[in-house]
């Protein structure tokens, strides 16, 4: 029996620095940061365009509550949401 390739996928959390969900989850387990902003120490996650900051905050909250951070994150949905966010951001007047 072969495994579904989508189930093996490690979704990207921070697209600017290509930081994966697994990398952030491992950082949370090892470093146990007290505030979400400390996740920037994980390969600069969250310090680029800002798209992933809310996701990083959610992952931190889940970790603090004893859950599996980002376990339901899907690559396709995350990419689509980021594209929408970028286009909305570009269309807003300065």
Nearest 10 degrees: Cα torsion 57, 50, 16, 43: -40
Residues 6+ apart with CB under 8 A from 63: 25, 28, 29, 32, 69
| Segments making up each domain of the chain, as ranges | 9-78
The predicted structure's pLDDT at residue 3: 42
| The three-state (H, E, C) secondary structure of 67-82, written as one string | CCCCCCCCHHHHHHHH
| pLDDT tens digits for range 7-59 | 458 999 999 999 999 999 999 999 999 999 999 999 999 999 999 999 999 99
What kind and span of H or E run contains 19? strand 19-20
Specify the pLDDT at position 21: 97
Tell the residue number behind the tokens 């990398």, with chain if given.
23
| Span 47-90, pLDDT tens digits | 999 999 999 999 999 999 999 999 999 999 999 999 999 999 88
Regarding the domain delimited by 9-78, which CATH topology (the fold level of the hierarchy) does it fall under? Arc Repressor Mutant, subunit A (1.10.10)
Residue 9: the pLDDT is 80
Pairwise CA distance, residues 39 & 47, whole Å: 10
């Amino acid at each position: 029996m072969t495994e579904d390739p989508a189930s093996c996928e490690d979704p990207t959390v921070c697209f600017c620095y290509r930081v994966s969900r697994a990398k952030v989850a491992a950082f949370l387990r090892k470093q146990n940061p007290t505030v979400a902003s400390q996740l920037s120490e994980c390969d600069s996650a969250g310090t680029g365009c800002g798209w992933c900051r809310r996701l990083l905050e959610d992952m931190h909250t889940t970790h603090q509550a004893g859950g599996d951070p980002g376990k339901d994150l899907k690559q396709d949905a995350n990419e689509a949401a980021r594209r929408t966010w970028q286009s909305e951001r570009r269309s807003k007047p300065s």
